[in-house]
Structure 1
């Protein structure tokens, strides 16, 4: 396959100044408003999608059937990682509802502001008791400097995943999804994601859903574009199950 062009993994640095229009840039809004239509994938991603289609004809079938791939982004900092925690182990619809309530709390999108909120306020937004502990652990790590998300945007994938996953309650899936949507890395694959396993099973008519280790092994064939393979599989599974194309994982 083609090699990702220089800078493909640093696309998250190129938001509009001040990020005054997150929806226009395809970034998940921190506020409970309906997002505008997502933009087309950037040029490097278009190249990678074409390379995947040439390497695996099943990937070439996805966009003609499901339509254009919405290009979803998340804030690469604390707020984006907080949004990803909301999506742990629950449906996309439930995660979006919780995020809408959580993001409306005063100060919650900054570590100090979140730490100033009571557990009752966070629980009232819909976070489970364990997730309250998880978001507080994240906020403390960022506030104290033990987790430097800005520095991690320049770090190798494995190093960045390990640093984020080390925060109590976050783990590899949360870290990998943040690298995929927040940092826009081209070659990250959250093999523990149930929807990815379901999407691949449906796409290739597999007899059973692959376990995470098996799925991770299968995904090696899609390197250096594993992030794009994940986006395409999510897109395919949404289409197959009749859900909105722009829905965030």
Structure 2
């Protein structure tokens, strides 16, 4: 048995390991209450992600070798910097030399924009300020993706069901076969409503409900990559790693 076979077997076993699943669920709940994901940065910029999801994205970016990564939601810019850095490493190893990251946010705050624009990885980054579901923004993103061979999409902006569903309908078709549309914060569905007292989303109205609604009409083209869920266990994106299969 090869090492890769051993990894696959361990990951598959995680799905039925009730003790490990319960421990992971408890850690997610307690860590979210503690603001755990706000404690990390990538090359100097806050990334606001779990380390497990950061590693998962590294694996996908290496495997897919995208020449465009589309990200909705910019915040402090850590995810943009991370994606750009991964594309820089890909290029150094023979990947697409001119690969880029396109970030979209309805409000790119001036101090965050300045920090992103001053970063060495800015050379691979473009940003659009506007609603990710506004038609003029969608048109700009489609134009940017029109000549790309391999496109990966990450959705991490407004987390309501309606907004994420609109994002999926707009941007998932841009994903290349074999690549991914990653929907973050699907974990909201699995957490108590009390954790979101000041948010318009919560259990029953969140990215995971949007993913399941989207898949009702797009299961021929996308599937949830359960192997990623079973590998990570601690993740803000359960059911959110959508692989394009057709």
* TM-score using structure 2 length: 0.30
Relative contact order, higher structure (CA 8 A, sep 6+): 1
TM-score normalised by length of structure 1: 0.30
Question: Which structure shows the bigger proportion of residues in helix conformation?
Answer: 1
